[in-house]
Amino acid sequence: MTLKDFFVDNPRTALAFSGGVDSAYLLYAALKYGADVRAYYVKSAFQPQFEFEDACRLAEELHADMKVISVDVLSDKTVAANPADRCYYCKRVIFGTIMQAAAADGYTVLLDGTNASDEEGDRPGMRALRELCVRSPLREAGLTKTQIRQLSKEAGLFTWDKPAYACLATRIPSGEEITAEKLAATEAAEEYLFSLGFTDFRVRRFGGGARLQVPAEQIGRVLEQREQILGELEKYYSAVLLDLKTR
């Protein structure tokens, strides 16, 4: 099955839209093949501001219909408690909210950007999508991440080379309570490192400290800018550690 086939069979769809590589290309493809598609962006404490800005920019460039929904994910006690399968409960909250909004707007088919490179395994988030009957056209069409990046580049989408970015909650160890303050610290710390030119890194919480994971080729730059980084990150963390195993 091709994406064109999918949208011929499903001409009216709602899309869980993050502004990342996969959902961006899926939105483009839906519009390209003439589908009536509405993108739903869920704004929560788990998503950094730049993701929202990217989503808005892409929707504007594609002249796509995007609806923003605010969700207080931390009001769900199980999500806030951060068990090992937190992603399952979080996806249930987020996609359940999107499904309600989409149904009220007259959309009964909900899509997400899971692709053929995403290993299902025991990923709790994908289990939630299965239970909610969310469709994943990129995966159904057999498109891998590499192919989606290439197709996005050919389509002129600025997201084609956007680094993968997991939600802010993934920086907090399983079993440690997630709070708005911890998420805000993570976002501020990562935004600062982005401003220094670092890429494809993570600032993970380690006790009350920060554990930096950067690509091997960027470790030298961390040491060169050690004083600057400490000066900023110590506003949010009791210690700043460099993980030599990298990410």
Average pLDDT of the segment spanning 113-136? 84
pLDDT, tens digit, 9 for 90 and up, residues 195-241? 999 999 999 999 999 999 999 999 999 999 999 999 999 999 999 99
Average pLDDT of the segment spanning 112-140? 86
Confidence band of 190 (pLDDT split at 50, 70, 90): very high
**Burial of 190 from C-beta contacts in 10 A (0-12 / 13-18 / 19+):** buried
- Output the pLDDT for position 81: 98
Please indicate whether residue 31 or residue 121 has the higher confidence score (pLDDT). 31
- Output the pLDDT for position 120: 64
In sequence order, what E strands does the chain have? 12-16, 36-43, 65-70, 110-111, 202-206, 209-213, 240-242
pLDDT, tens digit, 9 for 90 and up, residues 43-100? 999 999 999 999 999 999 999 999 999 999 999 999 999 999 999 999 999 999 999 9
Confidence band of 122 (pLDDT split at 50, 70, 90): low
Per-residue pLDDT at 246 exceeds 70: no
- Output the pLDDT for position 121: 58
All residues at 6 or more sequence positions from 55 whose CB lies less than 8 Å from its CB, including other chains: 17, 18, 19, 39, 41, 66
In sequence order, what E strands does 98-171 have? 110-111
- Output the pLDDT for position 34: 97
User: Which range, of 30-39, 65-74, 122-131, averages the lowest pLDDT?
Assistant: 122-131
Maximal C-alpha separation, the chain: 57
Q: What is the 3-state secondary structure (H, E, C) of 3-59?
A: HHHHHHHCCEEEEECCCCHHHHHHHHHHHHCCCEEEEEEEECCCCCHHHHHHHHHHH
In sequence order, what E strands does 185-225 have? 202-206, 209-213
Q: Which residues pair with residue 13 across a beta bridge?
A: 37
- Output the pLDDT for position 247: 57
Say what the pTM is: 0.91
- Output the pLDDT for position 126: 85
- Output the pLDDT for position 163: 86
pLDDT, tens digit, 9 for 90 and up, residues 134-182? 999 999 999 999 999 999 999 999 999 998 888 999 999 999 999 999 9
Report the distance separating Cα 60 and Cα 27, nearest Å: 12
- Output the pLDDT for position 124: 77
- Output the pLDDT for position 123: 73
